[in-house]
A and B are shown apart, each in its own frame.
Chain A
């Protein structure tokens, strides 16, 4: 597989799409738009997994794709939306980092990921190298998102988009056992549940979703 062949190109395109949505996540200000972008990213990861299932002829990857689609593109966004509605955040606008700076930082991180991965993987076939570079970029952008967002929901989405990057890396590597992918999927679900509980509790007790508000309450009991 190399440039110009259909399997490579489609896989590359899907991976690129995931990265693109990471950028979208980075600068979106409205919380509903962030959730939408996250759902799209989850769907793209699921498609990428399915496509890898086709090219690698691995049935397990279809299961991964189905779980990823069900959880990340449908269930979690729905839950998050319901929560936003319940917490009355639909019109919430959040300025974390300006569009310009976050784009510049993001491009820098992608550049760094490429600089790290490409020399380290000489000798591996092209798709795996590209895939690793893309997924490391997605991971780094997810982390950047966690830092720049103040809102707890934004931070959780950052964490889950980071996990999307991990999944992208896992499906790109041929022969990765199914149990790895299943367990990361389970991890994401648990994460979502914990995050929802924390967000609701925070809202109830602190009347805020800004994690900075937690700062003043450290060490309290009960």
Chain B
């Protein structure tokens, strides 16, 4: 199994190396995307084999750093995330294949297999060095993809911010792994597991891992890059970034905190995760309601979902600390299930947004509308994804969010009062975020696909078909399937749940549904689906029964619109709700406190002929509270450093001498101990 995985990784690397040759022709690009799709299918198959047949012990590769060979392994946890990568990668490669109608530049083709391979390597790694190697390869390749369309200034800006966050994440993760390896003086996971860090070192590992993986996963307050980078990247790339890359970052977080830090963590370790997760969920969901760009909106929804997964992980840590293994298993199962479900439906939504962009040539909601008529397949698939993102039963999002809320509602079983209060607060925030996400999805689907077209281009949008449609329909089918069968799915991930919950006996989930424990709430998706189907069928049947015979087709009621004037054949776009208009109520209600949303009305003076203006806007709190102070600090440091260039020769010597004396003093002090 590991051999197959290693071969797949090598094949991805090879594809990346051969990609410049493929850049010249359409055929080359198609071959490349076919290759990556095949590789991603391979990832998914290997992951399934590992989940079904048990993982594989660590095995050395013939290559590696000078001190030891690189180790690969596949256990339940990494196989689960590899499955996510496989599904997302396959669908995105297919979509890219469908849109490869002309020769693609090498800067888009080369990083793509390397991006997928880097993520695969991160998941397959069984030592700290290989983990970091894969993670950084993933960061670098995805930066190149974000910067692919670099002739536009905002994309360059986004790529720069993205790179800065990637560097911050590396600067946190590398010391975290270094601190882990400081005790056993070995990078292999087995050795790290045997001598977990303690005292201040463990706290430092927690903080660094949270910052390093959080910056890549898009946890608040390190989420500022997500809404900028996703629109900048090509659609299939943003799908993988949202669907798989954030999950790989979460995997690294799980691996470090749950596995490498040993079997026992103090109770309070869950709290930072809980708090950051809740903050991300709230900010992401709220922003998704205010954004006017489809891909930015979806990126904000990703922040929200990553926040929900992190809440689940934090809860699992807290339950572990309180020795409540069955509840830890519940929370960990919810987190894992939501990670998988989110990756599937978010990939679907991003690919759908890509189809819309391809057909209607715009990402702005204010330029779309009525696409359901021109693009029925895309609209149907996106509707399924939107339903899952809005957590509607019996789709996949509902199952995992229900499980998460059940775990949160069991939070009172932890004895500590402070934790109980935090969990209660997190429950409220998670519920609010889920509701906001539903509102955001209604707004997204309604503005983009329903109503009348707002531009001629949107009116003329047509379906593309081909492999892209296969990807969309396949993902929609998976969303429905995962929604109907969450129990068997969690059985598949039993090993991962066991690992995250600190060795709880694997709970058997029923095929028919989920249960939060004995004698508490149960969710039977098949029954719910059956009930819904019966209801819909009954309704349809009843309507047909009661409708008078002899149906006559006539013009639809136009909601009171008058016939469009001749100069606006599609009707006046201003007569339909706009993205900003639909965002206004929520922005006024909740945006003021969290996002500093404000509206300013400028009234003209009496007698003036200028129109009155209303300006509304909001600001993400991470910009004024985090990025701007950091930028100011950077400028101040640069000014200080600039002064060094102006030193005389004696001052330069003095610096060297002072440093030497300092180091010698340090050596003397260390020798003392």
Judged by a CB distance under 8 angstroms, whether B667 is at the interface is yes
Interface of chain B residues 650 through 673 with chain A (CB within 8 A):
650, 653-654, 657, 660-661, 664-665, 667-668, 671-672
- Chain B nearest CB, measured from A39 CB (Å): 24
Check if A112 sits within 8 Å of B649, measured CB to CB.
no
Check if A143 sits within 8 Å of B657, measured CB to CB.
yes
- Chain B nearest CB, measured from A145 CB (Å): 10
Q: Which residues on the B side are within 8 Å of A146 (C-beta)?
A: 653, 657
Check if B671 sits within 8 Å of A212, measured CB to CB.
no
Check if A147 sits within 8 Å of B671, measured CB to CB.
no
Q: Which residues on the B side are within 8 Å of A74 (C-beta)?
A: none
| Stretch with Cβ within 8 A of B (4 or more), from A17-25, A46-54, A115-123, A165-173 | A115-123
- Chain B nearest CB, measured from A137 CB (Å): 11
Judged by a CB distance under 8 angstroms, whether B542 is at the interface is no
Check if B650 sits within 8 Å of A140, measured CB to CB.
no
- Chain B nearest CB, measured from A139 CB (Å): 9
Residue among A120, A211, A215 making CB contact with B667, cutoff 8 Å: A120
- Chain A nearest CB, measured from B248 CB (Å): 45
Judged by a CB distance under 8 angstroms, whether A174 is at the interface is no
A92 to B414 alpha-carbon distance, docked (Å): 82
Query: Given A211-B649, A212-B648, A212-B650, are A119 and B672 also a contact pair (CB < 8 Å)?
Result: yes
Check if A143 sits within 8 Å of B668, measured CB to CB.
no
A147 to B648 alpha-carbon distance, docked (Å): 11
Nearest B-chain residue to A143, judged by Cβ: B657
Interface of chain B residues 106 through 135 with chain A (CB within 8 A):
none
Residue among A116, A144, A211 making CB contact with B648, cutoff 8 Å: A211
Check if A215 sits within 8 Å of B672, measured CB to CB.
no
Q: Which residues on the B side are within 8 Å of A143 (C-beta)?
A: 653, 657, 660
Q: Which residues on the B side are within 8 Å of A214 (C-beta)?
A: 648-649
Residue among B653, B657, B671 making CB contact with A120, cutoff 8 Å: B671
A105 to B648 alpha-carbon distance, docked (Å): 22
Judged by a CB distance under 8 angstroms, whether A150 is at the interface is yes
Nearest A-chain residue to B670, judged by Cβ: A119
Interface of chain B residues 403 through 420 with chain A (CB within 8 A):
none
Q: Which residues on the A side are within 8 Å of B654 (C-beta)?
A: 147
Q: Which residues on the A side are within 8 Å of B667 (C-beta)?
A: 116, 120
How many A residues touch B, CB cutoff 8 Å? 17
Check if B668 sits within 8 Å of A147, measured CB to CB.
no
Check if A211 sits within 8 Å of B672, measured CB to CB.
no
Query: Given A143-B657, A144-B657, A214-B649, are A113 and B664 also a contact pair (CB < 8 Å)?
Result: yes
Nearest A-chain residue to B671, judged by Cβ: A119
Which of B648, B650, B654, B667 is packed against the most chain A CB atoms within 10 Å?
A: B650
Once A and B bind, how many residue pairs between them come within 8 Å at the CB atom? 40
A108 to B671 alpha-carbon distance, docked (Å): 18
A120 to B669 alpha-carbon distance, docked (Å): 11
A140 to B653 alpha-carbon distance, docked (Å): 12
A147 to B661 alpha-carbon distance, docked (Å): 13
A214 to B660 alpha-carbon distance, docked (Å): 25
Check if B661 sits within 8 Å of A109, measured CB to CB.
yes
Q: Interface extent on B, as a size class?
A: 10 to 19
Main secondary structure of the interface of B (DSSP, over half): helix
A112 to B660 alpha-carbon distance, docked (Å): 11
Check if A116 sits within 8 Å of B671, measured CB to CB.
yes
Interface of chain A residues 129 through 156 with chain B (CB within 8 A):
140, 143-144, 146-147, 150
Interface of chain B residues 389 through 409 with chain A (CB within 8 A):
none
A212 to B672 alpha-carbon distance, docked (Å): 40
- Chain A nearest CB, measured from B284 CB (Å): 52
A150 to B649 alpha-carbon distance, docked (Å): 10
Nearest A-chain residue to B655, judged by Cβ: A147
Check if A112 sits within 8 Å of B664, measured CB to CB.
yes
- Chain A nearest CB, measured from B275 CB (Å): 47
Residue among A115, A119, A150 making CB contact with B650, cutoff 8 Å: A150
Check if A112 sits within 8 Å of B653, measured CB to CB.
no
Q: Which residues on the B side are within 8 Å of A140 (C-beta)?
A: 660-661
Residue among B648, B650, B661, B672 making CB contact with A112, cutoff 8 Å: B661
Check if B668 sits within 8 Å of A116, measured CB to CB.
yes
Q: Which residues on the B side are within 8 Å of A215 (C-beta)?
A: 648-649
Check if B665 sits within 8 Å of A112, measured CB to CB.
yes
- Chain B nearest CB, measured from A48 CB (Å): 24
- Chain B nearest CB, measured from A148 CB (Å): 8
- Chain B nearest CB, measured from A163 CB (Å): 15
Q: Which residues on the A side are within 8 Å of B660 (C-beta)?
A: 140, 143
- Chain A nearest CB, measured from B656 CB (Å): 8
A48 to B660 alpha-carbon distance, docked (Å): 27
A144 to B672 alpha-carbon distance, docked (Å): 25
Q: Which residues on the B side are within 8 Å of A115 (C-beta)?
A: 668, 671
A61 to B649 alpha-carbon distance, docked (Å): 36
Interface of chain B residues 615 through 673 with chain A (CB within 8 A):
648-650, 653-654, 657, 660-661, 664-665, 667-668, 671-672
Nearest B-chain residue to A139, judged by Cβ: B660
A214 to B672 alpha-carbon distance, docked (Å): 43
Q: Which residues on the B side are within 8 Å of A144 (C-beta)?
A: 657
Q: Which residues on the A side are within 8 Å of B664 (C-beta)?
A: 112-113, 116
Q: Which residues on the A side are within 8 Å of B653 (C-beta)?
A: 143, 146-147
- Chain A nearest CB, measured from B673 CB (Å): 10
- Chain B nearest CB, measured from A129 CB (Å): 13
- Chain A nearest CB, measured from B471 CB (Å): 60
Q: Which residues on the A side are within 8 Å of B672 (C-beta)?
A: 119
Q: Which residues on the B side are within 8 Å of A211 (C-beta)?
A: 648-650
Q: Which residues on the B side are within 8 Å of A212 (C-beta)?
A: 648-650
Nearest B-chain residue to A149, judged by Cβ: B650
Which of A116, A119, A140, A150 is packed against the most chain B CB atoms within 10 Å?
A: A116
A91 to B428 alpha-carbon distance, docked (Å): 86
Interface membership of chain B positions 31-48, coded 1 if the CB is closer than 8 angstroms to chain A and 0 otherwise: 000000000000000000
A150 to B661 alpha-carbon distance, docked (Å): 21
- Chain B nearest CB, measured from A159 CB (Å): 10
Check if B657 sits within 8 Å of A112, measured CB to CB.
no
Interface membership of chain B positions 336-374, coded 1 if the CB is closer than 8 angstroms to chain A and 0 otherwise: 000000000000000000000000000000000000000
Nearest A-chain residue to B668, judged by Cβ: A115
Q: Which residues on the A side are within 8 Å of B668 (C-beta)?
A: 112, 115-116, 119
Q: Which residues on the B side are within 8 Å of A109 (C-beta)?
A: 661
Check if A147 sits within 8 Å of B665, measured CB to CB.
no
16 A–B contact pairs at CB < 8 A?
A112-B664, A113-B664, A115-B668, A115-B671, A116-B668, A116-B671, A119-B671, A120-B667, A143-B657, A150-B650, A211-B648, A211-B649, A212-B649, A214-B648, A214-B649, A215-B648
The 4 closest A-B pairs by CB, nearest first: A119-B671, A115-B668, A215-B648, A116-B668
Chain B residues with a Cβ under 8 A of chain A: 648-650, 653-654, 657, 660-661, 664-665, 667-668, 671-672
Query: Knowing that A119-B672, A143-B657, A143-B660 are A-B contacts, what are 13 other residue pairs whose CB atoms are under 8 Å apart, sorted by A's residue number?
Result: A109-B661, A112-B661, A112-B668, A115-B668, A115-B671, A119-B671, A120-B667, A144-B657, A146-B657, A147-B657, A212-B649, A214-B649, A215-B648
